[in-house]
Structure 1
Amino acid sequence: MKTLLFLAKGFETMEFSVFVDVMGWARNDYGYDVEVVTCGFQKQVISTFNIPVLVEKTIDEIDVNDYDALAIPGGFEEYGFYEEAYDEKFLKLIREFDKQGKIIATICVAALSVGKSGVLKGRRATTYHLKGAYRQKQLKEFGVNVVNEPIVVDKNIITSYCPETAPGVAFKLLEKLTSTEQMEIVKRDMGFDEEYRN
């Protein structure tokens, strides 16, 4: 199982790293077949707060048929996130993943890219809910049935409403790629299962 982890300029590192770490634990400690391939418009992507990250692939090298899922961290407008997150080339990639019924997992405002692509029209989703819920209002303008819940799953699409939900989205993606039982093992061993914390 291969996940394309797409980094638009101005992405949040916390929302990016959860996908790398959760899938990394699953692969390294349990041998799960969950590879992550990083991607951006350029080989070096500058995150929110100006941390440079080198990606493995550029968007022009991507064949959707090679991947089982698309993961998208959110980002900050002040750092240029929407310049690439709303780029038609990326929106086309999102449409192709959805057309093939492949999983699309987003954190926070990354749901706005999916909304803008048109694939969330008439479907349930969420996005950043604080500061007057202005991002949720934007998502609604794309014809989305906005639900004010931490994580919302509508068929193949996972959306969430703030950075705090990042691990939950990564675990939900792992669950969809493997099984509930396999995901629960990784979640427990990473310390996210309250029953096993003490």
Structure 2
Amino acid sequence: MKKVILFLCQGLEEYEASVFTDALGWTTTYGLDPIELVTVGLRPKVKCAWNFTIEPQFQLSEIDINDFDALAIPGGMSRSGFYEDAYDERLLSLIRNFDSQGKIIASVCVGALPIAKSGVLNGRNGTTYHLSEKRQTQMREMGVNIIQKPVVIDKNIITSRSPSAAMDVAFTVVEKLTSTANLDRIKEGMGFIEKSCV
């Protein structure tokens, strides 16, 4: 079974994390090929952007990163402390490790910023929040070729430009880790593909 780290930074946007828990969760109940999702952070409790507090299953120091096949990074709000964790060297090192092995790294919105800061997107295509010139400029300064599309895939790295693209990112992770048939199956179960009752 494939395993994915959902990395929970302080100040993350709840919706951007929840799409991964739902899409990958559906693979374990309705899908053809289950994917295990594990929540990981740098602190025992994470205060989210909109005042939820969540507890990661594991601290980064408690897991063997070699057991995992992909990394998902939801974006968050700077006013809620997102970049305290997003720019932490422990996360940046994890990103570099995954990229060196060609493992999938997926982000939503400004979750692309730590990927860029790690250096692995230097000279490659990516995107981030499309309504923030500041964040797009930061990405460019870190060597990223900004593409103005909802989801941008450059080899093993998936970036996106806003919360609205979050589910598409989660679905892309499911498809890349398993198959199009598995993705279609869970999309059917979740109601994204209509199936008439007989």
Structure (1/2) with the larger helix percentage: 1
Residue identity in the other structure for 1:110: G
Looking at structure 1, the residues matched to 137 and 188 of structure 2 have their Cα atoms a distance apart, in angstroms, of 36
The answer for unaligned runs of 5 or more in structure 1 is none
Residue 181 (str. 1) matches residue 181 (str. 2) = yes
Q: Say which SS state the counterpart of residue 105 (structure 2) adopts.
A: strand
Contact 2:30/2:185, CA 8 A, preserved across alignment: no
State the shift of 1:50 in Å. Answer: 1.9
State the shift of 1:123 in Å. Answer: 0.6
Looking at structure 1, the residues matched to 62 and 77 of structure 2 have their Cα atoms a distance apart, in angstroms, of 26
Q: Say which SS state the counterpart of residue 74 (structure 1) adopts.
A: coil
CA deviation string 1:2-50 (max 9, x = no partner):
0000000000100000000001111112352200000111121111122
1:153-168 alignment runs, 5 A limit: 153-168=153-168
1:142-153 alignment runs, 5 A limit: 142-153=142-153
Let me know the Cα RMSD of the aligned residues: 1.5
Residue identity in the other structure for 1:20: T
Residue identity in the other structure for 1:94: I
TM-score of the aligned structures, taking structure 2 as reference length: 0.94
Residue identity in the other structure for 1:4: I
State the shift of 1:99 in Å. Answer: 0.7
**In structure 1, what is the equivalent of residue 58 of structure 2?**
57
Identity %: 51
Looking at structure 2, the residues matched to 55 and 7 of structure 1 have their Cα atoms a distance apart, in angstroms, of 7
1:41-190 alignment runs, 5 A limit: 41-131=42-132, 133-190=133-190
The answer for unaligned runs of 5 or more in structure 2 is none
State the shift of 1:152 in Å. Answer: 0.5
Runs of 4+ in 1 over 2 A off after TM superposition: 30-33
State the shift of 1:196 in Å. Answer: 5.1
Looking at structure 1, the residues matched to 168 and 178 of structure 2 have their Cα atoms a distance apart, in angstroms, of 15
Q: Say which SS state the counterpart of residue 105 (structure 1) adopts.
A: strand
Residue identity in the other structure for 2:135: R
State the shift of 1:185 in Å. Answer: 1.8
TM-score of the aligned structures, taking structure 1 as reference length: 0.94
